[in-house]
Amino acid sequence: MNNNNDIHWKLIKEQLNPHFLFNSLNVLKSLISIDKEKAIQYTIDLAELLRLSIDYQESNQKIVEEIKLVQLYLSLQNQRFNSNILVNIHVQSMYNEYQIPFLSLIILVENTIKHNVISNNKKLFIHIYIEGDYLCVKNNLNKKHHSNNRKGIGLSTIQERVKNICSKEMLIDETSEYFCVKIPYYA
């Protein structure tokens, strides 16, 4: 991997953590007054997620480990969105050892949350699955008004990292009903 790409990826990690941490602390503040036990578990999960994302030094991660990170992340987000994010992860264990760029799954899921309205009336459905040589993240669309330009820095960084690592490109498919990103996995 070239040095420019390493620098760009470190900037993405740094950008993701403060934004996420700010929202998480606001959720924690609310939970403390409502349910102390949930607040304690939330703090434990938040600390674990931040430790894993900050301490990991490799540019790639096994799919099984990325799924663990995204499950922690989603448990925290569902506290924030009152369990209105519904996730279906269907990745067979034979794919666990394949790799994808580190934090790419969280960035894709974070994008679905950032660009869609989530409420009791408009639930967000996220499906994570394998299709051919790709790990796919697909969500229904309840677009926020400011979400007309979906391809931001997170997607372009993942796309560039994928190009530098393997011969396949990341694929993006959007219809009026769903948005899907397919990341090629590799050995």
CB atoms within 10 A of CB 140: 16
pLDDT exceeds cutoff 70 at 82:
yes
Q: What is the pLDDT of residue 11?
A: 52
DSSP structural state of residue 95 = G
Provide the pLDDT for residue 89. Answer: 97
Cα–Cα distance, 2 to 167 (Å, whole number): 16
Residue spans per domain, the chain: 3-184
Q: What is the pLDDT of residues 100-130, one digit of tens each?
A: 998 899 989 988 998 999 999 999 999 999 9
**68 or 4: which leads in pLDDT:** 68
Q: 21-68, pLDDT tens digit by residue? A: 788 888 899 889 999 998 998 999 888 888 877 776 677 889 999 999
Largest interatomic CA distance in the chain:
51
Q: How far out from the chain centre does Cα 56 lie?
A: 16
CATH 3.30.565.10 fits 3-184, yes or no: yes
Sign of the C-alpha dihedral, residues 29, 32, 35, 37? positive
Mean pLDDT of the region 4-23: 60
Measured at the CA of 23, the angle between CA 91 and CA 82, to 5 degrees, comes to 60
- The neighbouring-strand residues paired with 182 are 136, 171
